[in-house]
Amino acid sequence: MATTTDQTAPDSAAPIGRPAGAPDASAGRAAPVSHDISMGVEGEEAHGDVSVDELALSVELSGADGAVATPDVAEYAMWLGDDALILAQQLGWWISRAPELEEDVALGNIGLDVLGHARSFLRYAGTADGRTEDDLAYWRDEPAFRSAWLFEAPNGHFGDTIARQLIASAFQLELYRRLADSSDPALAAIATKSVKEVAYHLDHAAQWMLRLGGGTDESHARIQQSLVDVWPLVDELFRDEPVIDRLEGVAVRPSTLREPVLARIQEILDAAGLETPNVEPSMAGGRRGSHSTRLGYLLAEMQVLARSHPGATW
Amino acid sequence: MTAPLAPASAQGDARATAEQAAIDEAGQARFDALIEADGRIEPRDWMPAAYRKTLVRQISQHAHSEIIGMQPEANWITRAPSLKRKAILMAKVQDEAGHGLYLYSAAQTLGIGREEMTDQLIAGRARYSSIFNYPTPTWADMGAIGWLVDGAAIANQVPLCRASYGPYGRAMVRICKEESFHQRQGFEILLELSQGTEAQHRMAQDAVDRWYWPSLMMFGPPDDESPNSAQSMAWNIKRFSNDELRQRFVGMLVPQAEVLGLTLPDPNLRWNDETRSYDMSDIDWTEFHEVLAGRGPCNAQRLQHRRQAHDDGAWVREAAHAYAAKQAAATTEQVAA
């Protein structure tokens, strides 16, 4: 039961955050000086070996280092990056507001995953003209964004968020699966990493469709309405734009995704006892910079602090 | 826990009482020996009712603090000034939900349900750390919370890894590991701000000015005014006194503040060679008691936010329960057929 705490463990020994070259504040002081942030972990103590294992963290962003995107590839990377960024921004709102603590964690995780995808795509997009991921996220105005309207659809209630997520994840899963074979190595690398995560996101959404569709009368009615509300935005995902013609073998042609994505969604809705909505599609034009009303508010919130301090780093 | 006895007669009653007394006596002896040997009490072990009650109170309060503590930081997720900071902040607030979950689970081993604890929280009958009743008006608050609030939490919590109640101690080990990352990221936010533009530096100093005293109050009242401390120390739940921990924390902050290039807002803070500790100004406990009494800046807002999330999610939880019940019934039918 009594374990000896290893005082050389990283947590009890590592100084925190002193920048390279910063003066050692401990020099010549009488006070017990330590930048050690662990408190009370001492050798003689019986329980509680609080050491932080050293981890080799995986590379934060995926995609080929040093590769420079052409303007067309950058445009396409922005489609996918903006879809993911806007979705992450929306999912982040749920943390502390979900129906269960487990869902705070789950929606937070999904948000983090898609934020990672967004950063990878945007970083690559920025190589075309020397902009960073933050330049693209924080300093573009609404018409320069390329997100589809589905991703901009409001969080609404939990069912609205799950309906949006189901469609988003089914779309991204099929898209990334094919993009993994892109002739562009950077896009292929990002897609290869992202596809595994998106498979979990789709499963999460599908599990909730089953529960909301097959739970109570109220939940069934609500989730069915959520589907009807968001369904007009599905069509835009499969619309080809001129840039796609110039990216043969590099990009995935959106129209080729329609059948497999809708089939997968249909399968999940059938299992959940829900009907595929029969509604007219919206003329949504996010890929051309024409956005839903919601995006302006979303960007205002996302960008406010960064724009209040031009030139600052964080 | 002991099984309830249901005797049929007065004679049976007397016998049952005698049996229970024997069980309690043997249990108490074993419990005392375990505490004496600095051993661990596990959920199935006999334990004094007051020990159980103290732990339920402490662990559930701790869990509530994690959950309410998500709000001040979640406040900046959508406005984080870079995508990297946004990712770190999302991960951090998500960790706090995870801490709440481990702690609720630890409390559940003592015989209280999560729903009961949640109800106590949203009805305003449970306590949580009053530090979370302060608002977070600027981004620098993300740094100050990490450095000062999480720092104070770590100072309080590392000794709890050795708490005599096994599930609590083990939950705390994991929590402390994650908290130490949180503190580092808070320090890093402040360092970046302090070394940034003038406006950023001012923002960092302002946040430290606002969070310093409340973070020192997190260690609780002075030792001579802390009613529950002595018994908790005797039970090996608490290992160091409030004042000891507070002093240790300040000793840690002073050199770190120098590295940050920020000032701790106490003109009387200086090292005393004689006492081998820091002299500091008296803490203004009036404010602490005001916040504790429900008159802090955000007490009502914090509870309202939690209650609304809970209420808004009711239909979702009901759906999940109904679905599970239908699945179970279908399985039973299949087995029967």
**Domain residue ranges in chain A:** 65-274+284-308
Confidence class of residue B76 from pLDDT cuts 50, 70 and 90? very high
pLDDT of A8 > 70? The answer is no
Q: What pLDDT sits at residue A257?
A: 98
Per the DSSP assignment, residues forming a β-bridge with B278 are B271
CB A168 within 8 A of CB A151: yes
pLDDT of A254 > 90? The answer is yes
Read off the tokens for A41. Answer: 């972990």
A102 to chain B nearest CA, in Å?
8
Q: What b-and-e string marks burial along A176-185, b requiring 16 or more CB atoms within 10 Å of the CB?
A: bbbbbebebe
CB B55 within 8 A of CB B232: no
| Conformational region of residue A48, where left means phi above 0, alpha means psi within -120 to 50, and beta covers everything else | left
Side-chain-side CA neighbours of B108 within 13 Å: the count stands at 12
Q: How many CB atoms lie within 10 A of CB A253?
A: 13
Read off the tokens for A157. Answer: 């209630």
pLDDT of B267 > 70? The answer is yes
| Conformational region of residue A40, where left means phi above 0, alpha means psi within -120 to 50, and beta covers everything else | left
CB B188 within 8 A of CB A37: no
- Residues 3-32 of chain B with CB under 8 A from chain A are none
What is the tens place of the pLDDT at every residue in A177-201? 999 999 999 999 999 999 999 999 9
Q: What pLDDT sits at residue B231?
A: 81
CB B226 within 8 A of CB B244: no
CA distance A272 to B124: 38
CB A160 within 8 A of CB A222: no
Which one of B158, B195, B256 has the shortest CB-CB distance to A41?
B158
Q: What is the mean pLDDT of chain B?
A: 92
Instruction: Provide DSSP, A40-65.
Output: S--TT-SS----PPP--PPPSS-S-T
Within 8 A by CB and 6+ apart from A126, the residues are A74, A132, A133, A135, A136
Measured CA angle at B152 (ends B115, A34), to 5 deg: 145
CA distance B151 to A192: 39
Q: What pLDDT sits at residue B230?
A: 78
Which one of B79, B87, B320 has the shortest CB-CB distance to A301?
B79
CA distance A219 to B320: 9
The interface predicted TM-score (ipTM) is: 0.90
CB–CB contact A104 B94 (8 Å): yes
Q: What pLDDT sits at residue B1?
A: 41
Q: Which residue of B has its CA nearest to A105?
A: B94
Q: What pLDDT sits at residue B15?
A: 85
CA distance A179 to A185: 10
Give me Rg for the CA atoms of chain B.
Answer: 23
What is the tens place of the pLDDT at every residue in B128-171? 999 999 999 999 999 999 999 999 999 988 888 989 999 999 99
Q: What is the mean pLDDT of chain A?
A: 86
Q: What pLDDT sits at residue A49?
A: 46
pLDDT of A16 > 60? The answer is no
Report the residue of A24, A26, A47 to disrupt the B interface, i.e. the one with the largest count of B CBs within 10 Å: A47
Q: Per mean pLDDT, which range of A33-47, A53-67, A113-127, B65-79 is the poorest? A: A33-47
Confidence class of residue A54 from pLDDT cuts 50, 70 and 90? low
CB A217 within 8 A of CB B310: no
pLDDT of A18 > 70? The answer is no
pLDDT of A92 > 50? The answer is yes
Q: What pLDDT sits at residue A56?
A: 57
Q: How many CB atoms lie within 10 A of CB B109?
A: 17
The mean pLDDT of A26-53, rounded to a whole number, is 41
pLDDT of B8 > 60? The answer is no
CA distances from B139 to A59, A271, B85, B276, B305 (A): 27, 45, 10, 36, 20
Q: Which residue of A has its CA nearest to B163?
A: A47
The mean pLDDT of B34-57, rounded to a whole number, is 94
pLDDT of A245 > 90? The answer is yes
Report the residue of B42, B68, B86 to disrupt the A interface, i.e. the one with the largest count of A CBs within 10 Å: B86
Helix residue ranges per DSSP H, A95-184: 101-126, 133-139, 149-152, 158-179
Q: How many CB atoms lie within 10 A of CB A14?
A: 16
Q: Per mean pLDDT, which range of A36-50, A111-125, A134-148, B235-249 is the poorest? A: A36-50
CB A282 within 8 A of CB A153: no
CATH architecture of A65-274+284-308: Up-down Bundle (1.20)
Q: What pLDDT sits at residue B286?
A: 93
- pLDDT > 70 fraction of chain A, expressed in percent and rounded: 81
Q: How many CB pairs under 8 A join A and B?
A: 243
Q: What pLDDT sits at residue A43?
A: 33
CB–CB contact A29 B271 (8 Å): yes
Q: What pLDDT sits at residue B292?
A: 86
CA B261 to chain centre: 30
The mean pLDDT of B216-227, rounded to a whole number, is 86
The mean pLDDT of B203-220, rounded to a whole number, is 97
Q: What pLDDT sits at residue A36?
A: 45
pLDDT of A23 > 70? The answer is no
A242 to chain B nearest CA, in Å?
30
- Chain B residues with CB under 8 Å of A29 CB are 255, 271
B158 versus B195: the higher-pLDDT residue is: B195
Q: How would you class B273 by CB atoms within 10 Å of its CB: exposed for 0-12, middle for 13-18, buried for 19 or more?
A: exposed
Start-to-end Cα distance in chain A: 45
